[in-house]
Structure 1
Amino acid sequence: MAFNRKTLTGSALLILAILFVAVVLISNLLFRGARMDLTQSNLYTLSEGTRNQLSKLEEPIQLTLYFSDKSTAEAASNDARALRGYYPRVRELLEEIAARSGGKIHLKVIDPLPFSEDEDNAVAAGIQGLPFGPAGENVFLGLVGSNSTSGEAKIPLFDPGRENLAEYDIAKLIHDLSVSKKPAVAFISSLPMTMGFDQATRQMRQPWAVYTELSQLFDLRQMNAAALKTIDKDINVVVLVHPKDLSDDALYAIDQFVLRGGHLLVFVDPNAELDESGADPENPQAAMLADKSSDLAKLFKAWGVDYARDKVVLDNAHALQIRVAQAAPPVRHLGILGFARKDLSSDDVITANLATINMSTVGYFELSKDSTAKLVPLIQSSDQSMAVSADRVKFLPDPAGLLAGFQPTGQPFVLAGRLEGEFKTAFPERSGADHLAQAKGRNAIVLFADTDMLSDRLWVEVQDFFGQRVMNAYANNGDLVINAVDNLAGDSDLISIRGRATSQRPFTRVEALKRQADTAFRKKEQDLQKELSETERKLTELQSAKSQDQAMVLSPEQKAELDNFLKRKVAIRKELRDVRRQLDADIEALGTRLKFLNILLVPLLLVIAALGFAGWSAKRRQAR
């Protein structure tokens, strides 16, 4: 019996082993390439736009990822460790893209060691080196892509601070490799943005910096609004700046361009400060009194957008200081606004990672009550803002006058946004073979309620350096426009890709404890400063009551007051140290609880569960 039992037990184990191997082999065959994303924010799940773009690839694409694995492993700097920590996220994202490409994308990873041929190739390809190595040598984390012809594209550096846009950057690189020429961009403007003759100075004027940069990056085609009747079908994007008194034919051309899937970037303004309408050297008041607003009223109505061409947004929180006279001190202007990184949408590729945007006499957009579109804000005013008549800003002698009667609405205004929807025509009465009454699918229009932001004075200094125009940008207005055109120049799948969650998981509880401690710390500091000011006031009063020959001698009252303050100062500083110590103690206690849960409690519960299961199994065997 014992022999038979051992034989059966051994046979059963052998059969189970064979079944296990068979199941593994069959699973590998049936579920090859199958993946499951169990992360909270679906970090490894590609967006629909990326998947659609990969499905449309016709030619193979080679991607080469350069990462200094050995150098960053030996480096001790925080920057090198951050780059090394970000590398797995980049590689896993590229591997997922390659796996979803149906064999069209081939990924190669290279570790460019210092002074090697691989390092030379990385530098020649335009990959940015950072001096974070153990001996100060350059380290790399960048991507080079090439197609079957001679096309090349690159991401010089994967910045950990741009992790939420990593998928978009890679998808953009793949899109650029799948097209063979620069995107065609139609440029329509009623402002003097191009090179031409300036009637005021009687000299040739230089083009605006933003126009120069666009012409270098895109196939920019300037179009005359007065003669506009059709928009060529090879145009990817139309940039419309300060549209004034457009004919119905011009509006219809733009209308049909949008409905057939064209992408539109619009800049309107309630008060375009560089509008030369009514300019007359012999009559300066003519230009001052001329209407400097612009609108697309007929198209906006069809798209479900409300825009007041006679209203300007004042914002107390974002007001910039300007100098109205040479000898006068700078004053805050509620109509000239500056926005920092935290004020811009971090979820949209157009505004994400920009540091500073300046705007002047801005309007705002709203959705109409019956609108079916969606308005996604890119730039918003603060809740300390209100809308006033544009005439109040136009004829303003002193910016300080805007504070009179200023009453914030408590609600932000959308100064720039992305309008998304399935748009209908603004010309239902027209017909024809190519006429569209409604868009064939969803589209996106990017709207800005300001044109002054395009002018050089709000973002860049242009200087002549031995015949060359050198641009020194102090704001990101130019980057913003290029980002918008670059994004719209892609196909609809690329435009649909938004910023996504990052792999960083901050300790929210620890951050909350730090914020509480900082609040308490600042309160104690304010108490100390308040007592110091009060003590100085009392000492001054006592000093003024003394005679001149006793001015340098402390009176008993002054000495007592000073001693009391010094004692209180020591006590408050002790309380400040206690606040910091309590913070450390709270964080340490939180860490201890987490260690107890992870190291002791969970294994203990598993052991108890295992022992319980073993006891239950033993009782079942005894019952038999």
Structure 2
Amino acid sequence: MSANSAQTRRINAFLQIAFAGIIFLGLNYLGNAWLGPIRADLTNDGLFSISPGTETILISLEGPITLKFYFSETVAGANPAIFRYGRRVQDLLEEFEAASDGKISLEVIDPLPFSTEKEEAESFGLQGVPAENGVTIFLGLVGFDDTNRLEVISAFSEDRERFLEFDVAKIIYLLVQDKKPKVAILTNLPMRFGPGGAVAYMQGLGQPYLIYRQLSQFFDVVYLENNFNVIPKDVDLLLLVHPPEMSAEQLFEVDQFILGNKPAMIFVDPFAEVSPLVQQNAAVTFSEQVPPASDLAALFENWGIEYNPDQAVVDFNRGQAVSVGAEQNAVMRNYIHWLGLRSSEFNADNPITAFLSTMNFASSGALGFDGREGLSFNPLVQTSDGADLVPAVLVREDVDANVLVQTANPAGQYTLIGRLTGTAQTAFPEGVGNKSGLTQGPINVIIGADADIFEDRFWASIRRDNFGRDVLIPIADNAAFIINSIDYLSGSESLISLRPRGVSKRPLEKFQELRRTATEQEEAEKSVLRTRLREVEARLNELEKNTPEGEAYNSASEAEIQNFRNQAMGIQRNLNQVQRNLTANIKTLETKVILMNMFIIPGLLLGLVLLRFGFGKRKRRQ
């Protein structure tokens, strides 16, 4: 009888699980059929909802916008990944259309092989993806305004799925702009041509900075040469990035531009990381050389800004783990002068930084303010409270990371970027030469102490997708901050809340903390071993020096020398083993954290199911 009861309970349990599965599938089917587009967005960044920034753009539409979405739905049916993403894009475009109050008209076009629609897609420059049987899959967007101005997304890439809303909103934003703000750039960084200079660029061996290309999309960018005499009157914003040393006449031009109620952004640096890369390039001309440090002392001192180009910031809590050396022999180093800052270090009350998640800095300086009357300086980006200042020469000479750790005292917080506002006095009350101008005026300037935030390697990567196309993937919000700042200062804030939604690589904060702890423990052990090694080597040298040249060691000295040599070799082996252990421990730790993130939720659900059935069995026995 008991055997039959047990069998009956097993059958009942199986039937309950099967019935629950049927109910789940049925509800899923009915939900898709009845609820249609109704959904709940449970993602942390709201990736599947239209953001307030998009709503602002759509509300501001005055004339009609036509969006033509070329989606090879028929052909893509044989490629599930492209088909799924095409439907995802179409869903978002339909949300744009629904939220536009009739201002956006969406046309979904399936460009079949050999059709006029396919020819039309190609005429707009859309990039098709070769599929089986020689057919081409299109997944692109063309936007028109009522004057037939044109903006195109040549191909949507699944690698940029988290950037999808921004990419679509951007072309609408560009269509409704009557005039792009004009931004004048003065910089010593090789932003236009890359570290190889103009010659390498013309030979196809160099590329402009990614941020320079993005700025050119949104703004009318003009370049000021280092020997400029005047800032054009139609410039809306001045951007100084690692600026060259300027003459009094040039500084006067900058001073008067800012006092004329025009915004500016200034980024100086105690050490521009690209400087040695440029100096090592034989093709770079003298005028293209990048000095290691920059300053704007004449204006900073007049505004009460405190900045020392001979000091660099280190942060024990936000230092980045960097792989150093050849791939097979690479070791992990905690670069406390390369900072990965998080939202907790950003000003949450300022729209420029309120939506940012992470920014990367390298060998940054620090900013202070002396409370100059009539002016206020509000931090936008700061370090953690575990930061300190070290001599900039240490980072310029690329000293061992352990030297920085031993030099610094992690006990403070420093401002890396801030905004200066108020009424300022001119730095040139007597004018310059025969020039005179404004003696005071409103000031609106964003000042940063690191120019490396513009460099590609610190915020972006280029990935080649499955179809051989290069796709820009931000790994930090550096570009978002720069473009947000220009938008904000020039009075255009619509896209600010969209850009940072697309950061693809978020740090596992707990893992970074554990890795930092492991690195510090291993480095402490290595420090003890290095001290012992120096002592042994010193004693060995002393014994060898005390033996006159050409004479043989006596047996006691020879034995002692051999003993110390063996100790030195043993300590060196231990040092190598400690480094191997560190690398292995970090990899093991990373694997554990990733596995925990992958399986903890399914494990909890399975535990609840087992608990439910265990409780049911116990209740039936009672």
**TM-score scaled by structure 2?**
0.51
Identify the match of residue 112 of structure 2 among 106, 111, 114. 114
**Secondary structure at the counterpart of residue 208 of structure 2:** helix
Deviates more, 1:213-222 or 1:185-194: 213-222
3-state SS of paired residue (1:404): helix
Call closer, same or farther: CA 1:390–1:369 in 2, change over 3 Å: same
Structure 1 residues 300 and 356, CA, compared in 2 at 3 Å: closer, same or farther? same
Could you report, residue by residue, the CA deviation over 1:43-76 in whole angstroms, capped at 9, with x for unpaired residues? 5766796479646xxxx56422316496599789
Retained in 1: the 8 A contact 2:388–2:409? Answer: yes
Q: Could you tell me how far 1:154 is from its partner in structure 2?
A: 2.0
Aligned positions of 1:384-533 closer than 5 A? 385-395=387-397, 397-409=399-411, 411=413, 413=414, 415=416, 417=417, 419=419, 421=421, 424=424, 426-427=426-427, 429=429, 435=438, 437-439=440-442, 445=446, 447-452=447-452, 484=482, 488=486, 492-495=490-493, 497-499=495-497
SS at match of 1:494: coil
**Deviation of the 1:153 alpha carbon:** 1.4
CA drift of 1:502 comes to 11
What is the TM-score with the length of structure 1 in the denominator? 0.51
- Where 1:438 maps in the other structure, the secondary structure is strand
User: Does structure 1 residue 246 correspond to structure 2 residue 240?
Assistant: no
Q: Deviations over 1:573-598 (max 9, x none)?
A: xxx999965433448999xxxxxxxx
Number of residue-to-residue matches in the alignment = 440
SS in 2 for 1:391: helix
Deviations 1:588-623 (CA, angstroms, capped at 9, x unpaired): 999xxxxxxxxxxxxxxxxxxxxxxxxxxxxxxxxx
| CA apart distance, 1:226 | 5.4
The equivalent of 2:335 in structure 1 is 334
Relative distance call for 1:501 and 1:255 in structure 2 (3 A) is: closer
Q: Is the 8 A contact 2:73 2:86 kept in 1?
A: no
Supply the RMSD in Å over aligned alpha carbons: 6.3
Give the Cα–Cα distance (whole angstroms) in 2 for the partners of residues 581 and 454 of structure 1. 43
Instruction: Tell me whether 1:91 sits opposite 2:94 in the alignment.
Output: yes
Cα deviation 1:552-587 (Å, max 9, x = unaligned): xxxxxxxxxxxxxxxxxxxxxxxx999965433448
Shift of 1:430: 7.1
Displacement of 1:313? 1.7
CA distance in 1, matches of 2:323, 2:234: 44
Describe the SS at the equivalent of 2:497: coil
Distance 1:49 1:256 in 2: 34
The structure-2 alpha-carbon separation of the partners of 1:262 and 1:94, relative to structure 1 and needing over 3 Å to count, comes to: farther
For 1:242 and 1:110, the matched residues in 2 are separated by: 47
Tell me if structure 2 keeps the 8 A contact 1:238–1:264. Answer: yes
2:380 corresponds to 1:376: yes
Q: Secondary structure at the match of 1:583?
A: helix
**Which whole-Å deviations, capped at 9, do the CAs of 1:220-266 have from their partners, x for residues lacking one?**
654355554x3112234433232355344433422343454645343
The one-character-per-residue Cα deviations of 1:489-543 (angstroms, maximum 9, x if unpaired) are 8993434542159999xxxxxxxxxx9xx99xx9xxxxxxxxxxxxxxxxxxxxx
* Pairs within 5 Å for 1:56-95: 62-66=65-69, 68=71, 77=80, 80-81=83-84, 83-85=86-88, 87-95=90-98
- Work out whether residues 126 and 138 of structure 2, in 8 Å CA contact, stay in contact via their aligned partners in 1: no
State percent identity of aligned pairs.
Answer: 21
Cross-structure match for 2:235: 235
Q: Give, in whole Å, the separation in 2 of the partners of 1:485 and 1:422.
A: 23
| Amino acid in the other structure paired with 1:121 | E
Q: 1:68 and 1:460, CA in 2 relative to 1: closer, same or farther beyond 3 A?
A: closer
Q: Tell me which amino acid in the other structure corresponds to 2:496.
A: R
Paired position in structure 1 for 2:362? 360
Offset, 1:314: 1.9
CA distance in 1, matches of 2:123, 2:129: 15
- The structure whose Rg is larger is 1
User: What secondary structure, in the 3-state scheme, does the structure 2 residue paired with 1:253 have?
Assistant: helix
Does the Cα contact within 8 Å between 2:110 and 2:117 map onto a contact in 1? Answer: yes
Q: CA deviation at 1:322?
A: 6.3
Say whether 1:309 aligns with 2:309: yes
Query: Partners in 1 of 2:493 and 2:599 — Cα distance?
Result: 52
Task: Say which SS state the counterpart of residue 152 (structure 2) adopts.
Answer: strand
Contact persistence 2:360–2:459 (CA under 8 A): yes
Aligned: 1:140 with 2:139: yes
Residue 527 of structure 2: aligned partner: none
Partner of 2:577: none
**How far apart are 1:192 and its partner, in Å?**
7.0
DSSP-derived class of the 1:269 partner:
coil
Distance 1:369 1:490, change over 3 A: closer
Gaps of 5+ in 1: 1-38, 100-104, 280-289, 463-471, 505-514, 523-575, 591-624
Aligned to 1:583: 605
**Are the counterparts in 2 of residues 460 and 473 from structure 1 also a CA contact under 8 Å?**
no
Instruction: Identify if the C-alpha distance between structure 1 residues 439 and 328 changes in structure 2 by more than 3 Å, giving closer, same or farther.
Output: same
